[in-house]
Structure 1
Amino acid sequence: MSVYIILFRGVGGATQLPVAKLREALTAAGFENVATYINSGNAVVKSALGHEKVVETIAGICRRTFKFDKAIYAITLAEWTKLIASNPFKNATEPGNLLHAAWLAEKPKAADVKALEDLADNGDRFAVVGKIAYLHTPNGFSKSKLSEKFDKKIGVPNTARNWNTVLKLEELAEKAK
């Protein structure tokens, strides 16, 4: 049995996944220790299924039940723990809304990383470690040119969470073991 942190891309605004119904649907599908965190596309499940089958099963539930057909990422607790440990900006975790970790579907091209590094100004910092991009925006995520351009310029599908959410998902995943 593995614990997976499930990240749904593009939840918020007009696109919603009702968390109570999502928990019910995931539990009914056989996932164990299901938990959700805030209404922005985060869940934790425990399953004997492999990674691809977890994503496939959850994607099917979301399409059928919620008409949600966007990217879904399933990250093991071990991978999530590594994401936290690999944070190159350890002195930037407070407040947690100014540091973001983006799970990347694949490693981005060096030129795309360089283009984003060049956008970092006003104290912004950016680094890619493996398939994780870390963005520290000390003046606020919404005020950062780096964060504004990140999604299009990184060149690979991704979904980001602020550090508060990263730590809360780790806590929920630990409880799900």
Structure 2
Amino acid sequence: MITYVALLRAVNVGGTGKLPMTELRKMCEAAGFSNVRTYIASGNVVFDSTLAKRAVQQALERSLEAYAGKPVGVLIRTGKEMAAVLDANPFRDEAPNRTVAIFLDAAPPADTLEHIAGQQNEQVALGKHEIYVHYGDGMAKTKLRIPAAKTGTARNINTIAKLAEWAAQS
């Protein structure tokens, strides 16, 4: 049994296209995942499965597309990988609520930093399959654009820490 963390991309927690976390839990259970837990209403779910990572991703994406009527991106990390993302945070001395990891399906391109636009008081660093960003003035007024992050999904360090903690408890 492997503990996985699924991060849904662009989940709408209110209004049109809403995905209640109770529905997400039901989808995961229907897919055969066990010990399913969601964390805050933004598409974070921790569960156990005997399936390989890619099979887990495909099963969840199929269920979500059937529910939403359109593709919903899902990024999967094992519990150990989520802990490694937390440990690799290059901005440990900065506010965790102003620091995010943008999760990607693959390693960020080597030229990612060269294509950033609108950078002001943000710090950006590349991880294994993530892009770390510290928003010095917060995210509300940022003009930062990272083209390589377009298909990713971001979580702040507080959320990553909680998901890694839950995954470690499985």
| TM-score scaled by length of structure 2 | 0.89
Work out the CA distance in 2 between the residues paired with 1:113 and 1:128.
8
Q: Do the aligned residues in 1 keep the contact of 2:131 with 2:149 (CA within 8 Å)?
A: no
Q: Which residue in 2 is equivalent to 1:161?
A: 155
- Deviation readout 1:17-63 (Å, 9 max, x if unpaired): 21112212211321111000111111011000001110111112212
1:34 and 2:28 are equivalent in the alignment: no
Whole-angstrom CA distance in 1 between matches of 2:149 and 2:85 = 20
Q: Is the 8 A contact 1:4 1:77 kept in 2?
A: yes
Give 1:174 shift: 2.1
CA distance in 1, matches of 2:34, 2:149: 35
Asked whether the equivalents of residues 108 and 130 of structure 2 are also in contact (C-alpha less than 8 Å), the reply is no
Look up the SS of the partner of 1:97 in the other structure.
helix
CA RMSD of aligned residues (A): 1.8
Equivalent residue, structure 2, for 1:2: 2
Q: Residue 121 of structure 1 aligns with which residue?
A: 120
Moved more, 62-71 or 40-49: 62-71
Cα distance in 2, alignment partners of residues 68 and 22 from structure 1? 15
1:156 is displaced (CA, Å) by 5.7
For structure 1, which runs of at least 5 residues remain unmatched after alignment?
Answer: none
Quote the Cα distance in structure 2 between the aligned partners of 1:109 and 1:21: 35
Could you tell me whether the CA contact under 8 Å between 2:11 and 2:18 is conserved in 1?
yes
Q: Which one has the bigger helix percentage?
A: 1
CA distance in 2, matches of 1:131, 1:35: 24
Q: Specify the alignment match of 1:52 in structure 2.
A: 54
Aligned 1:138-153 pairs, distance under 5 A: 138-146=136-144, 149-150=145-146, 153=147
| Letter paired with 2:157 | W
Give the corresponding residue for 2:107: 107
Write the distance in 2 (CA, Å) between the matches of 1:83 and 1:3. Answer: 15
Paired with 2:75 and 2:53, the residues of 1 have a C-alpha distance of 9
Shift of residue 121 of structure 1? 2.0
What is the count of residue pairs matched by the alignment? Answer: 168
Percent identical pairs in the alignment equals: 32
Whichever residue aligns with residue 21 of structure 2, its letter is: V
- CA-CA distance at 1:68 after TM superposition: 4.8
The SS at the match of 1:90 is: coil
Tell me which amino acid in the other structure corresponds to 2:129.
K
